[in-house]
């Protein structure tokens, strides 16, 4: 599956990690060869926990910029590296901090729940963060009549509001990758594989979610795929997830809903860039202390609320 040079590079990176006390943290959307050599692979919530709990002095984050920022916020005593500083998230970048500040001024009693897929400066003006895996649990801990602004993703926010049966204001921004699958593609696949279960990420549009047998985060989709009795699975999220599904469900047929479900930013990270990052100790990710202190409060609250029992 991998050529000789890639395999050699993978082995060299594994040795370099040990020599340099580096913890390689990767998202499920990374290239398969990167997931294979990572010390930990997970969704954004699990990545945050793994960063906070690791013992190594340096964390190299194979993911987009907000993921590296989150590690920097949670681990001020560690060196945080990104192998590709230009790997970013269009959805996260579309959030205008001035909009959030204006909303807070106009609605002083409202709470702001920010998706972890946001810059640190947005987290710094939020009450609590969430991920797609814990958003419903986080929002459910506010009184039903409490005014909530969910920043972004509009589709995840609307899904959580539907699920909880409550009203929420949503910031209009979306993940371009998750919008690339069409209803026609899903219907065609379902016609071809009528026995298949459709597994959908909540960042997808409502008409896509309405066709799902399961809606959940990347880790949720993998877990459902593994435990489900369905032998055929139609996967509606970024293509990188197929590596973990094939590893955990080798006897099941997993079909990516669209070949367009590729995040160019996630895939901009390569073995060569990871090797270069470790060897040269670059690029170091830093967050100003003022922003860090404010944003760590929202992140730590998320971690606390996500793990506590709720009625």
CA distances from 101 to 98, 105, 142 (A): 5, 6, 21
Q: Are 254 and 235 in contact (CB under 8 A)?
A: yes
Q: What is the pLDDT of residues 38-92, one digit of tens each?
A: 999 999 889 999 999 999 999 999 999 999 999 999 999 999 999 999 999 999 9
Whats the size of the chain, residue-wise? Answer: 311
Closest CA to 29 of 208, 175, 205: 175
Q: Are 209 and 200 in contact (CB under 8 A)?
A: yes
Q: Which two tokens stand for residue 227?
A: 């435990």
Angle at 125 between CA 298 and CA 306, to 5 degrees: 20
Q: Where in 35-183 does DSSP place strands (E)?
A: 40-42, 58-62, 79-81, 111-115, 128-130, 148-151, 169-170
Domain boundaries, the chain: 4-88+266-286, 91-176+291-307, 181-256
Unique residue bearing structure tokens 């390689």: 24
Closest CA to 236 of 256, 263, 264: 256
Cα(64)–Cα(89) distance, integer angstroms: 6
| Pairing status of strand 197-200 against strand 232-236 | parallel
Confidence at residue 221, expressed as pLDDT on a 0 to 100 scale: 98
Confidence at residue 215, expressed as pLDDT on a 0 to 100 scale: 98
Asked if the 181-256 domain carries CATH number 3.10.310.10, the reply is: no
Helix (H) or strand (E) holding 26: strand 22-27
Cα(256)–Cα(237) distance, integer angstroms: 8
pTM equals 0.94
Confidence at residue 310, expressed as pLDDT on a 0 to 100 scale: 60
Q: Do domains 4-88+266-286 and 181-256 have the same CATH topology?
A: yes
Helix (H) or strand (E) holding 232: strand 232-236
Tell me the fold of 4-88+266-286.
Rossmann fold (3.40.50)
Q: What is the pLDDT of residues 160-184, one digit of tens each?
A: 999 999 999 999 999 999 999 999 9
Assign domain 91-176+291-307 to its CATH superfamily.
Answer: NadA-like (3.40.50.10800)
| 260 pLDDT above the threshold of 70 | yes
Q: Where in 47-125 does DSSP place strands (E)?
A: 58-62, 79-81, 111-115
Q: Where in 187-231 does DSSP place strands (E)?
A: 197-200, 214-215
Confidence at residue 236, expressed as pLDDT on a 0 to 100 scale: 98
Q: Are 270 and 94 in contact (CB under 8 A)?
A: no
């Amino acid at each position: 599956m991998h050529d000789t040079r890639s395999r050699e590079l993978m082995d060299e990176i594994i040795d370099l990690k040990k020599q340099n006390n580096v913890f390689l943290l990767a998202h499920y959307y990374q290239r398969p060869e990167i997931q294979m050599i990572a010390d930990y692979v997970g969704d954004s919530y699990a990545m945050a926990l793994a960063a906070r709990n690791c013992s190594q002095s340096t964390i190299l984050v194979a993911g987009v910029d907000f993921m590296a920022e989150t590690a920097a916020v949670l681990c001020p005593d560690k060196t945080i590296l990104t192998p590709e500083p230009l790997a970013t998230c269009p959805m996260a970048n579309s959030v205008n901090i001035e909009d959030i500040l204006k909303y807070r001024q106009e609605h002083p009693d409202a709470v702001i729940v920010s998706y972890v897929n946001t810059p640190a400066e947005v987290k710094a003006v939020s009450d609590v963060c969430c991920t797609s895996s814990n958003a419903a649990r986080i929002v459910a801990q506010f009184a039903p009549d409490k005014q909530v602004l969910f920043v972004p993703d509009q589709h995840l926010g609307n899904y959580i509001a539907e699920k909880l049966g409550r009203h929420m204001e949503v910031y209009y921004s979306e993940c371009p990758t998750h919008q690339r699958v069409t209803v026609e593609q899903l219907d065609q696949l379902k016609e071809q594989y009528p026995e298949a279960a459709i597994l959908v990420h909540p960042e997808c549009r409502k008409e896509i979610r309405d066709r799902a047998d399961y809606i959940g985060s990347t880790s949720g989709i993998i877990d459902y795929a593994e435990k489900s009795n369905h032998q055929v699975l139609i996967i509606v999220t970024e293509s990188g997830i197929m590596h973990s599904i094939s590893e955990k469900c080798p006897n099941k047929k997993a079909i990516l809903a669209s070949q367009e479900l590729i995040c160019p930013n996630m895939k901009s990270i390569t073995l060569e860039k990871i090797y270069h990052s470790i060897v040269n100790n670059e690029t170091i990710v830093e967050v100003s202390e003022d922003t860090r202190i404010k944003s760590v409060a929202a992140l730590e609250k998320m971690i606390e609320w996500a793990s506590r029992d709720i009625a």
